[in-house]
Structure 1
Amino acid sequence: MAPSRDFYETLGVPRDVSAEELQRAYRKLARTYHPDINKDPGAEERFKDVSEAYDVLSDPDQRRRYDAFGPDFRQVPPDTDPQAWARARAAAGSSGARRGRGGPRRGGGAAAEDVWFQSGGAQDIDLEDLLGGLFGGRRGDGWGPVAGADQEAELELSVEEAYSGVRRGVTLSGPGGTRTLEVTIPAGVTDGQRIRLAGQGGRGSDGAAPGDLYLRIRLAPHPRYRVDGRDISVNLPLAPWEAALGTSVAVDTPGGEAKVKVPAGTSSGRRLRLAGRGLPNPRGRNGDLYAVAQIVVPPELGDEERRLFEQLAATSTFNPRRQP
């Protein structure tokens, strides 16, 4: 039997890797080995290995189980004590591959391989009794039905898609191959939010229920909007006279055009709030949109414009460098 792959080695990261470093390593490898980019015969298999490793290690619960139980983590029943499991596995390894009492017998350990034992000596260990007691008296050839593992994938959306909601096709790659799901993303999702798709995770064994799929939302950088939680900021260019005298101007928002009132005496950097015009919130108050004033001067002045600016400069006592 081929040795089990170590997920950390597959991704080329240390065991204490942070979630951010894990994601960077996965993205780099996924771009390198994605079958649509890399036509090498072994690239698709490598991509599947990388995707499986990331699916497990990016999920905190699965990562804890993997760290505790190694490649057998999917077969180990819930609430199993890791130290007792390690002692049982060590005992299984020390007994060696030996025959006794009528030939081979399988204990309650990993379903992927037979465990042999021999009776009759003072130091011999009955692995069936040992492992059966550890896991609640299981007997027989396998572990019985094992629920499928939960999985996680990342879905990148534009700010407009997050605002309005969207229906998207999501392509997933894993040990079972590639599959595409049509997913409805509700309006108002935020960066980092997880959407649960029940029963769309890993397949269970022996008729057990499949796991769930979690889609983690990432908002793509936008050329105009900046998002903080549900609040959105957008730059608002103003002419010097608009900022000085006050005005009402149109501003683009993800939900369409809106009017913003600019008070007289507005300086660059002032944030003008449009309540409720940020990302919608299905369960509470919508986010706000902030129009950030940016005073822009004409790149070139006509003769009359220059004369008026010179007249203003000679008349005004305002000094922007004077401390208030």
Structure 2
Amino acid sequence: MIKDPYAALGLTKDATADEIKKAYRKIARTDHPDLNPDDPRAEARFKDAGRAYDLLKDPEQRRRFDAGEIDASGAEQAPRGYYRDEARRPENPYTQSRTSSGGNPFQDGFDADDFFANFARGRGAGYGRGAPGDMLGQDVQYRLGVPFLDAALGAKTRITLPDGSALEVTIPEGARDGQTLRLRGKGTSGFGAGQPGDAFITLDVTPSPDFERDGDDIVVTLPITIDEAILGGKVPVRTVSGTVNVSVPSGASSGQVLRLKGRGLKGRSGKGDQRITLRIVSPPKIDAALKTFMEGWRADHAYNPRAGKERS
């Protein structure tokens, strides 16, 4: 787990939201596992940057981390003295059982984290209503790397647990980076009649070199030729569900945005759109024929696209 999300992005605590976003994108471009298949350090930097960005991109989560209310994984930080105060509460059955012989509950290998987890879960689920030996199982947390298209379209995968068993995970269509899935009853077993805990799976969605997510919309850049920009026509473009032809209007300009309705990601109010930003690309080589033609055209049809925008 990362300890300092700012350091993972090469930033300090006074970084702006825009600087955080740019730093993450830079690391995603340089250290993406697809670009560094044999470099485990690059993959580690990429994953750490993803976790850091997931925490810091949310203003409220960032505020809570800076205030020490949550740690770098987003888990709650217990207030100072919480374990001591709760352990001394007379109604706490765990304390009663540990101190009935006059011993100190914080001796003999007492695990405060385990105690807190069981205490917090038990109070919300009727802890102590069953037999004295009954105890709810622990919740467990995992992180799961998910390819961009699997998150976009939904998929099934498996996590191999420390004991060698496998846990099947259904990734919902339109899943987001940092989204946490809850699998009820897939945590550790309880004691006595205590119910098992739950498994919480946090998704690390791998950025795609082809697609960018903006809310429920997919954003892509589409390179087009000079003649396609001038004459218009049908041009193939990739979507998360396959390649389709998009109509480029005649006289198109770089930066112009086209929209494919319903070609985005599944959200609460239906599917988003795919936004396509056009980028005119000159031929790799300007031959004599093209140069002669453009010189003749410019002589009779010159225009200034910067008119009105130039500084006086």
2:290 maps to which of 299, 302, 305: 305
Q: Sequence identity of aligned pairs in percent?
A: 33
Provide TM-score, normalisation by structure 1.
0.58
Q: Displacement of 1:279 after TM fit?
A: 1.4
How many pairs does the alignment contain?
A: 225
User: Are positions 1:265 and 2:254 aligned together?
Assistant: no
SS of aligned partner of 2:266: coil
Question: 1:178-216, CA deviations, whole angstroms, 9 ceiling, x for partnerless residues?
Answer: 542122223222222222211112332223111111222
TM-score by length of structure 2 reads 0.60
Q: Which residue of 2 aligns with 1:233?
A: 219
What is the aligned counterpart of 2:272 among 287, 296, 311?
287
Distance apart, 1:232 and its partner CA: 0.9
**1:167-316 matched pairs, under 5 angstroms:** 167-173=156-162, 177-281=163-267, 283-316=268-301
* 1:97-137 deviations in Å (ceiling 9; x for gaps): xxxxxxxxxx85175676417xxxxxxxxxxxxxxxxx99x
The code of the aligned residue for 1:231 comes to D
Distance 1:210-1:267 versus aligned 2 partners, 3 A rule: same
Q: Residue 193 and residue 68 in structure 1: after superposition, are their counterparts in 2 closer, same or farther (change >3 A)?
A: farther
Higher-Rg member (1/2): 1
**d(CA) in 1 for partners of 2:304 and 2:72?**
58
Displacement of 1:217: 2.0
Counterparts of 1:148-163 in structure 2 under 5 Å?
A: 148-163=137-152
Is the 1:190–1:229 Cα contact (8 Å) retained in structure 2? no
Counterpart CA distance in 1 for 2:6 and 2:188 is 24
* CA gap 1:310/1:228 in 2 versus in 1, 3 angstroms: same
Conserved? CA contact 1:151–1:212, under 8 Å: yes
After superposition, residues 88-107 of structure 1 pair within 5 angstroms as 88=89
Amino acid at match of 1:183: V
Render the CA deviation track for 1:72-114: whole Å, top value 9, x for unaligned.
Answer: xxxxxxxxxx84x26559xxxxxxxxxxxxxxxxx85175676
Write the letter of the residue equivalent to 2:284.
Answer: P
Question: Offset of 1:295 from its aligned partner?
Answer: 0.9
Find the aligned partners of 2:72 and 2:307 in 1 and give their Cα distance: 56
8 Å CA contact 1:162–1:279 kept in 2: the answer is no
Match for residue 322 of structure 1? 307
Question: How far apart, CA to CA, are the structure 1 residues paired with 2:98 and 2:272?
Answer: 52
- What RMSD in Å do the two structures reach over aligned CA positions? 3.7
Which AA in structure 1 matches 2:167? L
Q: 1:213 to 1:191 in 2, by over 3 A?
A: same
Change (3 A) 1:205 1:321: same
The residue correspondences of 1:55-134 to structure 2 (distance < 5 A) are: 58=73, 60=75, 63-64=76-77, 69-70=82-83, 83=85, 85=86, 88=89, 108-109=94-95, 115-116=101-102
C-alpha change, 1:179 and 1:147, in structure 2 (3 Å) is: same
Runs of at least 5 residues in structure 1 that lack an aligned partner in the other structure: 1-10, 25-36, 38-55, 71-81, 90-106, 118-134
Q: 1: CA distance between counterparts of 2:133 and 2:270?
A: 48
Question: Shift of the alpha carbon at 1:59?
Answer: 6.1
Tell me how far apart the structure 1 counterparts of residues 188 and 6 of structure 2 sit (CA, whole Å): 24
> Do the aligned partners of residues 65 and 243 (structure 1) sit closer, same or farther apart at CA in structure 2, a change above 3 Å counting?
same
Unpaired runs of at least 5, structure 2 = 10-39, 41-70, 104-122
Say whether the 8 Å CA contact 1:58–1:152 is kept in structure 2: no
Q: Is the 8 A contact 2:142 2:200 kept in 1?
A: yes
